Amino acid sequence: MSSSEPLIRWSWIGRNWPMIWDLLVDNAIMALLPALFGLILALPIGLACARWRFLYQPTFGVMNVVYSLPSLAVFIVLIPITGLAERATVIIPLTFYALAVLIPAVVDGLTSVPDHVRQAADAMGFRPLRRLIQVELPIAVPVVLAGLRVATVSSISLVSVGALIGRGGLGGLFITGWQLRFPTPIIVGIVLVVLLAVVADGLLVLAQRLLTPWARARSAG
Amino acid sequence: MITFEAVTKRYPGGTVAVDRLSLEVPTGEITVFVGPSGCGKTTSLRMINRMIDPTEGRVLIDGRDVREIDPPTLRRGIGYVIQHGGLFPHRRIVDNIATVPYLLGWDKKKARGRARELMERVGLDGELADRYPFQLSGGQQQRVGVARALAADPPVLLMDEPFSAVDPVVRASLQDELLRLQAELRKTIVFVTHDIDEAIKLGDRVAVLRVGGHLAQHATPPELLAAPADDFVRAFLGRDRGIRLLSFLPARDLLLRRDLIVPEGGRAPEGADWVVVVDEERRPIGWRAAWNGHLTGFGTYRPEHDSLRAALDAALLSPCGAAIAVDDEGRAEGVVTRDVLDVALVRAAADAYSEGGHTGEEAAREAG
């Protein structure tokens, strides 16, 4: 980087805004879909683990191993199957990472239901499915949403790694900046990734407040 | 009527929680299961609504074996109040109370209307309807628990240590509230507690259970106090059984002396060492001694509402051992002298022993 180059060159941002916007949208899609898929898959798996406790340790172990796999290695393994620079190549591994966070969140959420509440539901005459839907799942929501916030934010930043295989959303800006010895795209990339994460997290917090007014008030009181 | 027929609950591993329990819970009365932890009282309670099924024997409600009824259906017809309230934290108070009506398929408006009606009935401010459980005090939560149990107007109510997690003052008011409600509703209530005083206060009948699930005694509270079946029950009842027995005897019939009540500066009747001095409203000011005219403290009781125990207590608070009877406005009606009180106490003791079916020998041992 030459010393005469300013840290931010605003004109570059103006000229390249359409491209930056596309990367931002791409990043958001590749980050949020895994969080969504992760949630959809984690619910039945987490329910099964909470119902049959012996499943939990093995499942948790497998998910932990998956979480430890370097993302770049998984992207590369997937390229022959899903293709280079394809969204799916990024989305699939990120879904597994989200699962690794969300399965324990669902299990913890369900175990957070106090025993006396569950017993009271039985004693009132709830059948098991109705008890699950009307009592246990709603009470698990705050814990599950806390997990979803972690999964979503980490997913947003993990997308950047995909840049190394040609599909990294805003991560592409880091590569550009590095190759051209030009800091502006790098700074734009970092700022937008952080902004995206903050906005997504904020929306989830908002959703939590709307969905679980009883939990918000509990922590305030 | 709920009938336990030789009910045994044995857990794998051989622990016996309930051992050949046979007893009848009469319709429209409060029956209290009381005993130390491990006596099987909660297990017995839960066999009524099939939260637990017996290993042997049968539990019948109005002659029908509960095992013939599918548990959720059975439970929707039996109110249940649990120790920590068991309220649903994610539902507003009104919807917590309407739980069983919702399960029974009532429409929302009718269920909520019923819930609001019950809030009033159990002494809850209607403004609490839209709050969440955590925003209520422990005592209020228990009231919600009672309202929820009553929502679908079940004939049977099971209460599992419902008041044991609140402080003594709140507990006493919840107990009074339950008795007041029961006077109106006449439910068949099975109430579990480890607190013998609570059992004696609330129960029309009390079943004392001992560790291992044996029924030690099943009797009315006065019978229990007067004639404990064995040393275990005697020890469990604790001290002052005689005094506590007096709580069940009305003070209404005590003979009052009206001539011992005088206005300020009034003369005492001939031969009276002590008189009660009253103000213009006839409210007692104090006991006046004939020899020095000094006023001292006093105790009062209300003949229409209070027990012999309250009358005796009032007597012990006065310098001459006599109690002042007052009406609801606190106006003195008369004085119960020590002689009258003595006779009443002696008769109470004699009656207790004859009702309890005690032999003279046992009575002598009691006295010693």
Sequence spans of domains, chain B: 2-248, 261-344
Q: Give the whole-angstrom CA distance, residue B182 versus residue B30.
A: 8
Give B106→chain A minimum CA distance, Å: 15
- Look at residue B177 in the predicted model and tell me its pLDDT: 92
Higher pLDDT, B247 or B5: B5
pLDDT digits (tens, 9 = 90+) for B206-223: 999 999 889 999 999 988
Band (B359; pLDDT cuts 50, 70, 90): very low
Residue B271 has pLDDT above 60, yes or no: yes
pLDDT digits (tens, 9 = 90+) for A79-97: 988 888 888 999 999 999 9
Residue B365 has pLDDT above 80, yes or no: no
Higher pLDDT, B363 or A63: A63
Provide mean pLDDT across the span A33-43: 96
Q: Give the whole-angstrom CA distance, residue A93 versus residue A75.
A: 7
Provide mean pLDDT across the span B169-177: 92
Nearest CB partner across the interface for B80, out of A124, A141, A213? A124
Cβ-based contacts of A212 with chain B (< 8 Å)? 90
Sheet strands (E) in chain B: 2-10, 16-25, 30-34, 56-61, 64-65, 78-81, 156-160, 188-193, 205-210, 214-219, 261-263, 274-278, 284-289, 295-296, 300-301, 323-326, 332-336
Provide mean pLDDT across the span A165-185: 91
- The residue of chain B nearest to residue A219, with distances taken between CA atoms, is B134
State percent of chain B over pLDDT 90.
Answer: 61
Radius of gyration (Cα) for chain B, nearest Å?
A: 25
Chain B contact probe: residue of A113, A116, A124, A211 with most B CBs at under 10 A: A124
Q: Flag if B72 and A125 touch (Cβ within 8 Å).
A: yes
Band (A217; pLDDT cuts 50, 70, 90): low
Band (B85; pLDDT cuts 50, 70, 90): confident
Residue A221 has pLDDT above 50, yes or no: no
- The residue of chain A nearest to residue B45, with distances taken between CA atoms, is A123
pLDDT digits (tens, 9 = 90+) for B29-60: 999 999 998 899 999 999 999 999 999 999 99
Q: Give the whole-angstrom CA distance, residue A49 versus residue A104.
A: 9
- Look at residue A216 in the predicted model and tell me its pLDDT: 62
Do residues B340 and B326 touch, judged by C-beta distance below 8 A? no
Element (H, E) at B159: strand B156-160
Do residues B163 and B175 touch, judged by C-beta distance below 8 A? yes
- Look at residue B345 in the predicted model and tell me its pLDDT: 87
A178-192, B1-15, B352-366, range with the lowest pLDDT = B352-366
Nearest CB partner across the interface for B90, out of A126, A130, A139? A139
- The residue of chain A nearest to residue B47, with distances taken between CA atoms, is A123
Band (B368; pLDDT cuts 50, 70, 90): very low
State percent of chain A over pLDDT 70.
Answer: 95
Q: Quick one: tokens of B367?
A: 């006295």
Q: Does A133 touch chain B (CB under 8 A)?
A: no
Nearest CB partner across the interface for B103, out of A124, A212, A215? A124
The vertex-B31 CA angle with B50 and B63, nearest 5°, equals 50
Residue A10 has pLDDT above 70, yes or no: yes
Give A116→chain B minimum CA distance, Å: 5
Provide mean pLDDT across the span B201-208: 95
The residues near B203 (Cβ < 8 Å, ≥ 6 apart) are B30, B31, B32, B34, B191, B220, B221
- Look at residue A139 in the predicted model and tell me its pLDDT: 94
CATH code: domain B2-248 is 3.40.50.300
Provide mean pLDDT across the span A34-40: 96
pLDDT digits (tens, 9 = 90+) for B122-136: 989 999 999 999 999
Q: Does A211 touch chain B (CB under 8 A)?
A: no
Q: Does A144 touch chain B (CB under 8 A)?
A: no
- Look at residue B20 in the predicted model and tell me its pLDDT: 93
Do residues B337 and B324 touch, judged by C-beta distance below 8 A? no
Provide mean pLDDT across the span B227-249: 89
Q: Give the whole-angstrom CA distance, residue B36 versus residue B194.
A: 6
Nearest CB partner across the interface for B135, out of A121, A138, A217? A217
Provide mean pLDDT across the span B321-349: 89
Cα B245 to chain center, whole Å?
13
Q: Does A16 touch chain B (CB under 8 A)?
A: no
Q: Flag if A124 and B99 touch (Cβ within 8 Å).
A: yes
- Look at residue B263 in the predicted model and tell me its pLDDT: 86
Band (B277; pLDDT cuts 50, 70, 90): confident
- Walk me through the domains of chain A, giving residue ranges and CATH numbers: 10-220 (1.10.3720.10)
Element (H, E) at B301: strand B300-301
Q: Does A221 touch chain B (CB under 8 A)?
A: yes
Cα A12 to chain center, whole Å?
31
Q: Flag if B84 and A114 touch (Cβ within 8 Å).
A: yes
Q: Give the whole-angstrom CA distance, residue A116 versus residue B355.
A: 42
Cβ-based contacts of B73 with chain A (< 8 Å)? 125
Q: Which CATH number fits domain B261-344: 3.40.50.300, 3.40.1350.10, 3.10.580.10, 3.50.50.60?
A: 3.10.580.10
Coil, helix or strand at residue B68: helix
Residue B355 has pLDDT above 60, yes or no: no
Give A44→chain B minimum CA distance, Å: 22
Phi/psi at B54 (nearest 5 deg)?
A: -70, 155
Strands B156-160 and B78-81: parallel
Categorise residue B35: left if φ over 0, alpha if ψ from -120 to 50, beta otherwise: left
State percent of chain A over pLDDT 90.
Answer: 72
Band (B235; pLDDT cuts 50, 70, 90): very high
Q: Flag if B89 and A218 touch (Cβ within 8 Å).
A: yes
Coil, helix or strand at residue B334: strand
Band (B362; pLDDT cuts 50, 70, 90): very low
DSSP structural state of residue B256:
P
Nearest CB partner across the interface for B90, out of A125, A214, A221? A214
Element (H, E) at B81: strand B78-81
A62-71, A134-143, B107-116, range with the lowest pLDDT = A62-71
Give B168→chain A minimum CA distance, Å: 22
Coil, helix or strand at residue B366: helix
- The residue of chain B nearest to residue A135, with distances taken between CA atoms, is B88
Q: Flag if B134 and A214 touch (Cβ within 8 Å).
A: yes
Cβ-based contacts of A117 with chain B (< 8 Å)? 86-89
- Look at residue B42 in the predicted model and tell me its pLDDT: 94
Question: Which parts of B263-328 fold into alpha helices (H)?
Answer: 308-316
CB-defined contacts A:B, below 8 A: 75
Provide mean pLDDT across the span A140-167: 93
Q: Flag if A123 and B49 touch (Cβ within 8 Å).
A: yes
The vertex-A71 CA angle with A54 and A85, nearest 5°, equals 130
